[in-house]
Structure 1
Amino acid sequence: MNLARRTMNHPALAAVYERAWRPTLFYLASGRTTTSDRRDAVRALRLDGAQRVLDIACGPGNFTRHLSDALTDGGYAIGLDYSEPMLARAVADNAGPRVGYLRGDARVLPFADGTFDAVCCFGALYLIPDPIAATREMIRVLAPGGRIAITTSYRADSPFGAVSRVFGGRIGLRVFDDRTFPELFAASGLVDVEQDVHRLLQYVSATRPA
């Protein structure tokens, strides 16, 4: 397990992740606040009813609980993560009437095809050993008419981007160009592909045709 993944699985990080670690690092990387990211997550996934939502690599549930709050009775959000300390924190801090948590591997999701109306992964694909396999699994479990949304790293086509790729590789953090995920979504038959880049992060969403 590389340095980045060991850090994410440490109980000490789980204790401070939602209150300090993530808000600080993501603001430095994107210039965006957690409030803005949460609001845009609901918009990108088009949550407004009794939908079934899957949040991949949910960590301590800081986004999962927020997504569940946008649902009506009958809707629910499931947060999936591999880290036991993160999931323990999620259950302790972000439980709710329409949210639940599950330990699992994002590369082999334990769900049938087309199970969820919305699937997301915010700030974790660059840590998963095979991010492309994980993304294909997200698409597999997405129902017709459903929305997928991700936030992940962004590498500019510049000397700085080349440096970020090398540095990220040393600590186990992948840095993606701006074509990988839009092209993967399109090749998988998804439509309405949207992409926004904010500094070192890219936000990509799409729809599975009904």
Structure 2
Amino acid sequence: MNLARKTMNAPALAAVYEHAWRPTMFYLASGRTTGTDRRDAVDTLRLSGPMKVLDIACGPGNFTKYLSEYLTRGGFVTGIDYSAPMLAKAATDNASPRVGYVRGDARTLPFADGSFDAVCCFGALYLIPDPLVAAREMIRVLAPGGRIAISTSFREDNLFGSAASMAASLSGLRAFDGDVFPKLFARAGLTEIDQRIHRFMQYVDATKPV
């Protein structure tokens, strides 16, 4: 397990992640606040009604519970994460009648094909081993007509981008070229693919055709 993954599995990080670590790190990387990211997630996933939603690498549930607040009775958000300390924090701080948490591996999701109306993974694909395998799993469990949304790292196609990527790799982080996920989504047959770049982060969403 590399340094980045060890850090994410540390109980000490779980204790400060939601209120200090994530807001600070993501603002530095993207210039966006947690509130902006959350509102954008609701919009891009088009949350409403009794939808079934999957939040991959949910951490302490700071997005998971928020997403559930935009669903009506019958709607439910499942948060899945590999880190036991993060999930323990989620169960304590972000419990809700329309939220549940599961420990699992994003590369082998324990759900049937087409189980969810919306699937998201915010700020984690650059940590996950075999991130493209994880992205394909997201598409597999997404129902026809459903929405998928990710935020992950972005590497500029220049010398600075190459240097930043090498520096990140020392701790186990990945920096992705801008065409990686749009191309993956297109090859999988997804439509309405949209990508937005904010500093060192990219936000990509799409629809699975009916």
Identity of aligned residues (%): 69
Summarize deviations over 1:28-83 as a string: whole Å, max 9, x none: 00000000000000000000110000000000000000000110000000000000
Alignment of 1:33-72 (within 5 A): 33-72=33-72
The question of 1:190 aligning with 2:177 is answered no
CA deviation after TM superposition for structure 1 residue 165, in Å: 1.0
Alignment of 1:9-28 (within 5 A): 9-28=9-28
Mapped partners of 1:68, 1:164: distance in 2? 36
Partner residue, 2:160: 160
Partner residue, 1:31: 31
Mapped partners of 1:80, 1:8: distance in 2? 14
Partner residue, 2:77: 77
Partner residue, 1:174: 174
Question: How well do the aligned residues superpose, as a CA RMSD in angstroms?
Answer: 0.4
CA deviation after TM superposition for structure 1 residue 164, in Å: 1.1
Mapped partners of 2:179, 2:63: distance in 1? 26
Q: Unmatched 5+ residue regions in structure 2?
A: none
TM-score of the aligned structures, taking structure 2 as reference length: 0.99
Summarize deviations over 1:127-162 as a string: whole Å, max 9, x none: 000100000000000000000000000000111100
Mapped partners of 1:92, 1:163: distance in 2? 40
Mapped partners of 2:69, 2:164: distance in 1? 36
Partner residue, 1:110: 110
CA deviation after TM superposition for structure 1 residue 168, in Å: 1.2
Mapped partners of 1:30, 1:171: distance in 2? 19
CA deviation after TM superposition for structure 1 residue 169, in Å: 1.1
Mapped partners of 1:166, 1:173: distance in 2? 9
1:129 maps to amino acid: P
Q: Which runs of 4+ in 1 moved over 4 A?
A: none
Q: Unmatched 5+ residue regions in structure 1?
A: none
Mapped partners of 2:90, 2:31: distance in 1? 26
Mapped partners of 1:77, 1:28: distance in 2? 28
CA deviation after TM superposition for structure 1 residue 97, in Å: 1.1
CA deviation after TM superposition for structure 1 residue 90, in Å: 0.2
Partner residue, 1:6: 6
Partner residue, 1:99: 99
What SS does the aligned partner of 2:170 have?
Answer: helix
2:58 maps to amino acid: C
